[in-house]
Every structure is written in structure tokens, then in C-alpha cells.
A and B are shown apart, each in its own frame.
Chain A
Amino acid sequence: DADVTQTPRNRITKTGKRIMLECSQTKGHDRMYWYRQDPGLGLQLIYYSFDVKDINKGEISDGYSVSRQAQAKFSLSLESAIPNQTALYFCATSSGIGNEQFFGPGTRLTVL
């Protein structure tokens, strides 16, 4: 079984809808991250969490919110989706600062 899983893997939604992307990990890592990837822009950090009580904004957090339900679960929400949030979204984990990051398989989100 994969160490970092994401659901759903693909999602098509309409402008204005609320949507949640979920991430679970079995690696026992404290740190979890949400990135988005756009063609030509590389990966950008949306939010990150160093433990259940510590959540921090990344470089592109506007329009997104997160919830760290447990050490193993980190969810990303789009409160009111817009077309320019169409992208590939990745969850990642690490065991500590400066340590290797492990990525999930990604969620392809399309906002019409």
C-alpha cells in the first residue's frame, strides 16, 4: 500500500462549489504539506503543518483552507472554487526539517 494517499484522484467541479481534497499517510511523519502544480510554474506551496496544532500558510494560500484532523490526515478545502484553481494538487510528508519529502500521487482538479 502507498505510504501517502490522496482522494479523490480526479475531480471535476463547477465555479462556486466547495470541494475538499484529502490526504492520509502511514509514514508516521509529523510534517505535512499541500502543493499545487501548474504547467510552466512548477510546484507552489499552499499550506503546511508541523503537527496537529501547527498550521502555516504557504506562498499561495488565498482561496484555500486546511484542516489537520490527526497526525495522519491533512485536508485541503476550496471554499468557492474558481477556474484558475484548476491544477494538479499534491500532498507531501516529512519527518522533520531538512528531511526527505515524500509525495502522494496527486489529485487532478478541474474547475469549470
Chain B
Amino acid sequence: KQEVTQIPAALSVPEGENLVLNCSFTDSAIYNLQWFRQDPGKGLTSLLLIQSSQREQTSGRLNASLDKSSGRSTLYIAASQPGDSATYLCAVHPLLPVQGAQKLVFGQGTRLTINP
């Protein structure tokens, strides 16, 4: 059964720091891994999608890496800003149906706070 774990559950850092969020998954048979941002009570915004054949993707100050064989992904945020405060979710899309459904499997998220 595919399981996704995100550590830490919460992180608080001062503005300007570079930081890394971690995501691990138990089954390497995936199509892709997607990182999302969620603001309190709001929807999910897709940040980066990494296909299983890729090692990393970059968008602005964000860089996501994927090591499929070890079941790990990291989201690197450079020069953090207070506006980066949100919950960050990673999700994998397994090759095989999960509980009979083609679905994303989500981690519980890391709640990030950037202090001015």
C-alpha cells in the first residue's frame, strides 16, 4: 500500500532562510509526484510536478527533487518570505490503482511559518 509521509509536520524559520521540506513514499511505482501549497481554509495550488523519469523541477525560488529509487522528494525554498507561510503537501500518483481507484496519495503536509 502506498503511503506518503512528510516531515516535519510544522516548521518555523526566520525570513530570508533557505529551507527544505521532505516527503517520502513507500512504493516507487509512480507516474509522478506533485507538490502543492494550501493556505488556511483555501484550495490547493499546484507548485511543481515531477515525472517519474525526472530528477528535479524548478519554478522561481522553488526547486523540487525526486529520488524514486529511495522513495524521497524534497522541496527547497530559497530566500524564504512571510508570504511563503502555508501548508505544503506532496502527493504521488501510483502506477497501479489504490483501493480500486486511480488517485493521488497525499501526505499530511508540513505547516510552514516564516517569521518577519
Chain A residues engaging chain B, CB cutoff 8 angstroms: 33, 40, 42-43, 45, 48, 56-59, 88, 90, 92, 97-106, 108
Contacts and interface: CB of A to CB of B under 8 A. Distances in A.
Which 3 pairs show the lowest CB-CB distances between chains A and B? A98-B31, A103-B44, A105-B43
A90 B44 contact: yes
B25 interface: no
Interface of B: 31-32, 34, 36, 41-46, 49, 51, 89, 91, 93, 98-104, 106-109
B43 A104 contact: yes
B108 A101 contact: no
B101 A42 contact: no
Interface residues of B, dominant DSSP: strand
A90 B103 contact: no
Contacts of B103: 33, 45, 48, 58-59
Contacts of A58: 99, 101, 103
A56 B44 CA distance: 23
B17 to A, nearest CB: 27
A108 B44 CA distance: 14
B43 A48 contact: no
A100 B49 contact: yes
Contact of A42 (B34, B98, B109): B109
A104 B91 CA distance: 16
Most chain B CB neighbours (cut-off 10 Å) among A42, A88, A99? A42
A92 B98 CA distance: 18
Given A40-B108, A42-B108, A92-B44, 4 more contacts: A43-B91, A43-B104, A58-B101, A105-B43
B101 A106 contact: no
Nearest to A61: B101
Contacts of A56: 101-102
Contact of A103 (B31, B46, B93): B46
A105 B109 contact: no
B8 to A, nearest CB: 16
